[in-house]
Amino acid sequence: MGDYDNALQLAHKEEKPLVVLVVKKDSKICNKILHQQFMNQPYIGAINDKMIAVMVTYEGKLSYPIEMYYTTVFPTLFFVDTKSETFMKEPLYGEGIEMGALKKIILTM
């Protein structure tokens, strides 16, 4: 999803955690991670089954609570328990958003 508020409402309704990917416009590393780790990967179905995913841009900080998802590294991936509004896992940053780390997190959620 691309709309944080709608994703949050859906996460509450479906009682699922929220996974928030914060990217920066025109960032080569963000584009690289998006294509390598989120396009046509076998674990994307598991992410969509277990979580509500939303991607927001840093430049659109009025559209999501930047004070909660503050970062200076892009992309950053946050895993949030929507009931308690706390982080479930340590965020993944930049090159740390990779297949092994994503699979490990998905298996433990």
Contact 26/100 with Cβ under 8 angstroms? no
Q: Is 95 left (phi over 0), alpha (psi -120 to 50) or beta?
A: alpha
Spatial separation of the C-alpha atoms in residues 27 and 8, rounded to whole Å: 25
pTM to 2 decimals? 0.93
Buried b (16+ CB within 10 A) or exposed e, 55-64: bbbbeeeeeb
Does 1 have pLDDT greater than 90?
no
Tokens of 18: 């929220």
- φ and ψ at residue 90, rounded to 5 degrees: -65, 140
Give residue 89's pLDDT.
93
Distance of CA 2 to the CA centre of its chain: 11
Domains, the chain, in order of start with CATH, read: 4-108 (3.40.30.10)
Q: What is the pLDDT of residues 63-91, one digit of tens each?
A: 899 999 999 999 999 999 999 989 999 99
